[in-house]
Amino acid sequence: MKKPNKSQLVIIFTLLITAYSFIAVISEEILQEQTEIKEIEPSTSSFDPMQYIQSLLAKLEENPNDIKTLTELAQLNLSIGRWERCIELFEKALKLTKKEEPDMLTDLGICYRQNGEVEKALKVFQKARTIDPNYWQALFNEVVVLVADLNEITEAQSKIKQLKKIAPANQQEIKELEKRIKEQEKPQS
């Protein structure tokens, strides 16, 4: 059996998100649609996603411009692949923030890419790197877009060299990208 590539691993990871994350986002939709929230049964675990979502939504009702809460909801949506909602929340949080953060931009770029907005994703990854040139996650995702989506092999190889310099601890991920590049370079028969 063939080992999955990076793009496939991203999809697999998205599909394997815990039941709590899934319940949390579904709960957000249900809670938004209901005008009156009925009593939630006590949780048997230490984390109750329903209550967590309810508390985040209550915070947003009090302060719709709470960047931290918007970001938390965006990350929950990212974790289960609700790309459009994730984009909406990250974009709002970024408009409100005084200083753009590379991690928030990179997460937004991931959502754009997964939503099929590849060029937007690439621009956001590049913008994250203008804020922090050593933010390896943005460069890594930029290379993924160049290889998997745009087939820009030469540019991707150049970026791989940069990635090796700024992320020496992430050699396994880099090797996977290099393997993907080699696969893309092979002539199609």
What are 45-91's pLDDT values in tens digits?
Answer: 577 777 887 888 899 999 999 999 999 999 988 988 899 999 999 99
C-alpha 90: how far from chain center: 10
Q: How many residues does the chain have?
A: 189
* Whole-number pLDDT of residue 2: 61
Pair of tokens at residue 170: 């992430």
Banded model confidence at residue 29, pLDDT cuts 50, 70, 90:
low
**Cβ neighbours, 10 Å, residue 115:** 16
Name every residue whose Cβ is closer than 8 Å to that of residue 184 and which is 6 or more positions away in sequence: 147, 151, 153
Interval 176-185: pLDDT, tens: 989 988 888 7
Average pLDDT over residues 14-36: 43
Please give the structure tokens belonging to residue 184: 């893309």
Domains contained in the chain, CATH given: 18-32+50-98 (1.25.40), 100-189 (1.25.40.10)
pTM of this structure: 0.73
pLDDT score at 117: 98
Confidence class for position 25, pLDDT limits 50, 70, 90: very low
Residue 77: what pLDDT? 86
Average pLDDT, the chain: 81
Dihedral (CA of 32, 33, 37, 41) sign: negative
Residue-level pLDDT at 188: 56
